[in-house]
Amino acid sequence: MTKSAKFLHLFLCFALLAPSFFAFETDQYNLSPVPLADIGDEVSEYTENEILQAIGKLNNEIRARLVCLENAEANAAKNAGKKDCGAANEEQRKLAFLRSEDAAALYVFRRLGAGFIPFTKSGTWLEKHRFKAQPARYKSSYGNSIYALVPTNYLTISPTIRIYAAEFGTDKIAHFFQQGYDYYKIYKSALKNGATPAEATQKAIRWGQMTERTYYGTLVSGVYSNADLCANFVGLKFYQGLTGEVRIGGQTRAAILRLENGLWTISEKINRRETLIKPFMTAHLNEALNPSLYLAGLRSFVRKTVRKNACPQWRARYPNLTQTDYAETTADLTNWLGEDYGFKTSRKFVTIAATCFDK
């Protein structure tokens, strides 16, 4: 057995034994036979409704704390005996937290990003919801899949969806709402410890890169996904933008939420449908256009499969696009609107430009 064959054998054995539930993979190389319907508006509406549910719960808890606080001094003994009420200073502390930006992010996360990794409430909804426009999801057959060599990857493969003209796996929404919140917590913790916003962002990005090298990526599935890193990064932007201004390209978007008379509300200054998630749904999340890094044995199989199965699909679907067009698109995705999201470069990427147009 050659050295490369031994490596591949060890990799496959590890992949079969590893806890595959830690990672979801996706396949945008294989295109849907029929173009996917754009479900962007429906996903945006769902997100808005979940945010409304989150701030509704927040506001109910704020009201409960206010009742406890109002009665704390007038009837301290009786109030202290209530199941949900504490001393006045304790109620003040709880009230301050419920009105903080961290509380707003936490309660929104609980509605959209909570779940056993990598499953999320939003991801489950995407998998099960009957969208008005069809077809809404596509998953390639096992035989055509780039992961036919690694059955555990195919078993957990996420279907491709189309949101605001960008096609990517449903796993990116999980990264957006779940790991994006992890980034947010790391960012806020770093700020509290004296880091600048730029330093805090980089700390979150480095954590994301570590997870792609280990339990969210290479160590489990043999795949290091740049698209996952971008989903994490724009998820951070989403949570930052809940209660503060956020920079998107050359523009600054107003906060989604604001406090009015001590209660949370969605700001009327924004166009919810256009600004809630739409700016973050880009081709950066597409793993065919923003390529991943594969371990050696898997990489050669992916390249061979793409050349055989996917390349004819891309030529038929987009007959006017050239090798230069695809190469420029991939080059543009190495940063997010001018911002570093932790893209890792390689000379061994499996790209549409290099794979489908080589001689």
Residue 4: its pLDDT value, please? 45
Residue 14: its pLDDT value, please? 39
pLDDT tens for each residue of the chain, 359 residues long: 554 444 344 444 434 433 333 457 899 999 999 999 999 999 999 999 999 999 999 999 999 999 999 887 666 555 454 567 888 999 999 999 999 999 999 999 999 999 877 789 999 999 999 999 999 999 999 989 999 988 888 888 899 999 999 999 999 999 999 999 999 999 999 999 999 999 999 999 999 999 999 999 999 899 999 999 999 999 999 999 999 999 999 899 999 999 999 999 998 877 777 889 999 999 999 999 999 999 999 999 999 999 999 999 999 999 999 999 999 999 999 999 999 999 999 999 999 999 999 76
Residue 78: its pLDDT value, please? 55
Q: Are 279 and 253 in contact (CB under 8 A)?
A: yes
Element (H, E) at 92: helix 88-98
Question: CB-based contacts of 71: which residues, under 8 Å, 6+ apart?
Answer: 78, 79, 85
> Of how many residues is the chain composed?
359
Residue 116: its pLDDT value, please? 79
Sign of CA dihedral 301, 302, 305, 307: negative
Calpha distance 22→117 (Å, rounded): 6
DSSP 8-state symbol, 176:
I
* This prediction's pTM: 0.91
Question: CB-based contacts of 353: which residues, under 8 Å, 6+ apart?
Answer: 323, 324, 326, 327, 330
How far from the centroid of its chain's Cα atoms is residue 67's Cα? 38
Q: Are 108 and 243 in contact (CB under 8 A)?
A: no
Residue at token pair 């390249």: 303
- Reading the block at residue 162, the tokens are 């189309």
- Closest among 153, 172, 154 to 162, alpha carbons compared: 172
Calpha distance 158→164 (Å, rounded): 18
